[in-house]
Structure 1
Amino acid sequence: MRRETLRENRIHGHPSFPVSVYADVEQLNGNCILDCHWHDEMELILVRKGSALFQTDMLHTEVKAGEALFVNSGMLHAGYLHHDAHCVFSAVVFDPKMLLSRGMDVIQQRFIEPILHKKLLPPVHIKGTESWGKEVLTALQKILQDHETRHPAKEISTKAQLYSIFASMYPYMTTAAGEPPEVSAGLSKVERIKTAIGYIHEHYQEPLRLKAIADEVGMSEGHFCRFFKQMVQKSPIEYMNHYRIQKACLLLEQSDRKVVDIAMEVGFDNLSYFIATFKKWNGMTPSRYRKEHEAFLQSPVISSPAQR
């Protein structure tokens, strides 16, 4: 499978069917299989081979082959290799609003609205050791299979399976009320890291100073660097450069602009440093990356690449 970079702020699916399916995603670089990010959509991740340690806000969960992870909307999440040297997973990303009814019926009022507003919290780790978990995994596998085989009615089948998944999880959901103080503290940390990452995403084309990012979250520079590394598993500089490289990959794929111009566009003021950083994250130079992408597009058989 062609390795792809993690793409932030992408549109999942189509406005009339806001669902994206990503099949057989492998690690991006080193021990990272899913870079730290978040989105408004919900996500179901099925580990197919190996295992990985997934971060969801402040919780860390080891998910093994045959198990799944539920990621709520707005939840900070990432995935890293843990015990196994390799991991392959598939994911279904969807806008939960697609489950709303035309009118305020009992399904929307009793089940969907509380989940959307996070008054009810679905279980995060789906092991399949109990009947409800097996039902969720079967429905998730059905969604993946329908999209892989391009089932002619995959849209209605996908929506039906998502309803089935929430129905199976419903008796095991927890309420958001009365959370202990440590949970509130965790949420504060999550909001701070989101603010820092958001600042990097907004200003990545500019010369960024650590102090400016630290000031955004009300921390000293040293405390912020330690906090960021703990939460994201990358230093702020590593994350910033990685994000810039992701943007460079898009420009290399979508334009014939000179490499030096792309380097400047994404915030690098030194071509040699840009090439070295690009090679670190992608295992090849920018020029080689562009050639491989062009060769991939010209291939007579093109499967849907798992772009995340």
Structure 2
Amino acid sequence: MRRETLRENRIHGNPSFPVSVYPDVEQLNGNCVLDCHWHDEMEFILVRSGSALFQTDMQHTEVNAGEALFVNSGTLHAGYLHHDDHCVFSAIVFDLKMLLSPVPDVIQQRFIEPVLHKALLPPIHIKGTEAWEREVLESLDKILRDHETRHPAKEISTKAQLYAIFASMYPHMISAAGEPPEANTGLSKVERVKMAIGYIHEHYQEPVRLKSIADKAGMSEGHFCRFFKQMVQKSPIEYMNHYRVQKASLLLEQTNRKVVDIALEVGFDNLSYFIATFKKWNGVTPSRYRKEHGSQQAAFPPLSL
């Protein structure tokens, strides 16, 4: 399945049931399993086979087959092959607000709102070695099975399993109050990178200078480039070109516009450079890509996940 690298602005599921389930997601080209991105919803990633090194903000966690990763809302996250040569995972993306009650009750006040407002932080890595972890993994499997088999009551079952998951995780959550503050009182570096990514997404069709991106993040060019590469595994220019190529891929799939017009549309002013960059990220030329994918629609809108 093909994914885009961007901050998601779409609704997972629908307003009355804000849950999306993505089974059997395989890695992208090279060692990339999940492009760096973030979204407002929470997410569970369950590794089905292989393993990968997942990044959540500044933390890196190796997740093996049969284990799961919890991604909190607003967390910059990505995944890369590490010790293994492949990784297949499933993802459950959901809005925790679906567990709120119409009338505030003890469940909402004691258990849901502290997690929603990040006063309590759930454990990130669910290995399955302890009883509570196995309970979480079983509930995740149940959600995935119900959606894959189109269970007629999957909505109520999913909601029940999410309650069960947070009940199992609750005794192992930690208070955010004890977390050390940032060294400075300004924006964290993670937030600065997210601002830079947002700037690229808004201006990718224009000539964008590295200095403009670094200025948006409030960093010097050198410092920004080093930290961005550490967080995203691509330089700012590589990330921008990758994003442009993904936008071009969608246009090649969904329209009959000329390749040169698409190149200009996504911010490339040199056709040869566009073709070379496109081939670098997709493994084929734009014309070949259109022949192979032109009849398909985007199967996996931005994850993400």
Q: TM-score, normalising length from structure 1? A: 0.92
- In structure 2, C-alpha distance between the alignment counterparts of 1:128 and 1:306, rounded to whole Å: 28
Query: Contact 2:20 / 2:92 at 8 angstroms: preserved in 1?
Result: yes
Query: Contact 1:6 / 1:34 at 8 angstroms: preserved in 2?
Result: no
- In structure 2, C-alpha distance between the alignment counterparts of 1:288 and 1:197, rounded to whole Å: 29
- In structure 2, C-alpha distance between the alignment counterparts of 1:90 and 1:306, rounded to whole Å: 13
Could you tell me which residue of structure 2 aligns to residue 145 of structure 1? 145
Query: Contact 2:214 / 2:224 at 8 angstroms: preserved in 1?
Result: yes
Could you tell me which residue of structure 1 aligns to residue 254 of structure 2? 254
Query: Contact 2:253 / 2:295 at 8 angstroms: preserved in 1?
Result: no
Could you tell me which residue of structure 2 aligns to residue 117 of structure 1? 117
Higher normalized contact order (CA 8 Å, seq sep 6+, divided by chain length): 2
- In structure 1, C-alpha distance between the alignment counterparts of 2:281 and 2:15, rounded to whole Å: 32
- In structure 2, C-alpha distance between the alignment counterparts of 1:86 and 1:248, rounded to whole Å: 27
Identity %: 80
Query: Contact 2:5 / 2:37 at 8 angstroms: preserved in 1?
Result: no
Could you tell me which residue of structure 2 aligns to residue 242 of structure 1? 242
Shift of 1:64: 0.5
Decide whether aligned partners of structure 1 residues 184 and 98 sit closer, same or farther in structure 2, where only a CA change above 3 A counts: farther
Could you tell me which residue of structure 2 aligns to residue 281 of structure 1? 281
Could you tell me which residue of structure 2 aligns to residue 21 of structure 1? 21
Which secondary structure does the structure 2 equivalent of 1:177 belong to? helix
Could you tell me which residue of structure 2 aligns to residue 301 of structure 1? none
Could you tell me which residue of structure 1 aligns to residue 93 of structure 2? 93
The one-character-per-residue Cα deviations of 1:279-299 (angstroms, maximum 9, x if unpaired) are 2111222233233234557xx
Could you tell me which residue of structure 1 aligns to residue 128 of structure 2? 128
Structure 1 letter corresponding to 2:178: G
Q: In the TM superposition, what are the counterparts of 1:28-107 in structure 2 within 5 Å?
A: 28-107=28-107
Query: Contact 1:42 / 1:93 at 8 angstroms: preserved in 2?
Result: yes
**Structure 1 unaligned blocks of 5 or more:** 298-303
- In structure 2, C-alpha distance between the alignment counterparts of 1:138 and 1:186, rounded to whole Å: 41
- In structure 2, C-alpha distance between the alignment counterparts of 1:70 and 1:189, rounded to whole Å: 21
- In structure 2, C-alpha distance between the alignment counterparts of 1:183 and 1:105, rounded to whole Å: 38
- In structure 2, C-alpha distance between the alignment counterparts of 1:46 and 1:195, rounded to whole Å: 28
Query: Contact 1:57 / 1:187 at 8 angstroms: preserved in 2?
Result: no
The one-character-per-residue Cα deviations of 1:53-86 (angstroms, maximum 9, x if unpaired) are 1100111101000000000000010001110011
Decide whether aligned partners of structure 1 residues 131 and 187 sit closer, same or farther in structure 2, where only a CA change above 3 A counts: farther
Could you tell me which residue of structure 2 aligns to residue 4 of structure 1? 2
Structure 1 letter corresponding to 2:288: R
Structure 1 letter corresponding to 2:2: E
Q: In the TM superposition, what are the counterparts of 1:288-299 in structure 2 within 5 Å?
A: 288-296=288-296
Query: Contact 1:57 / 1:186 at 8 angstroms: preserved in 2?
Result: no
Q: Which has the larger displacement, 20-29 or 181-190?
A: 181-190
Shift of 1:50: 0.8
- In structure 2, C-alpha distance between the alignment counterparts of 1:87 and 1:75, rounded to whole Å: 21
How many positions carry a matched residue from both structures?
Answer: 300
Q: Which has the larger displacement, 240-249 or 132-141?
A: 240-249
Query: Contact 2:45 / 2:92 at 8 angstroms: preserved in 1?
Result: yes
Could you tell me which residue of structure 2 aligns to residue 300 of structure 1? none
The one-character-per-residue Cα deviations of 1:27-73 (angstroms, maximum 9, x if unpaired) are 11211100111000000000111111110011110100000000000
Shift of 1:250: 2.0
Decide whether aligned partners of structure 1 residues 101 and 52 sit closer, same or farther in structure 2, where only a CA change above 3 A counts: same
Structure 1 letter corresponding to 2:134: K
Shift of 1:135: 0.5
Which secondary structure does the structure 1 equivalent of 2:178 belong to? coil
Query: Contact 1:58 / 1:186 at 8 angstroms: preserved in 2?
Result: no
Which secondary structure does the structure 2 equivalent of 1:46 belong to? strand
- In structure 1, C-alpha distance between the alignment counterparts of 2:284 and 2:95, rounded to whole Å: 35
Shift of 1:305: 4.6
Is 1:201 the counterpart of 2:205? The answer is: no
- In structure 1, C-alpha distance between the alignment counterparts of 2:184 and 2:175, rounded to whole Å: 14
Q: Over aligned residues, Cα RMSD in angstroms?
A: 2.0
Query: Contact 1:36 / 1:78 at 8 angstroms: preserved in 2?
Result: yes
Query: Contact 2:40 / 2:74 at 8 angstroms: preserved in 1?
Result: yes
The one-character-per-residue Cα deviations of 1:184-232 (angstroms, maximum 9, x if unpaired) are 8997111111111111111111111001111112222122111111111
- In structure 1, C-alpha distance between the alignment counterparts of 2:82 and 2:209, rounded to whole Å: 32
Which secondary structure does the structure 2 equivalent of 1:20 belong to? strand
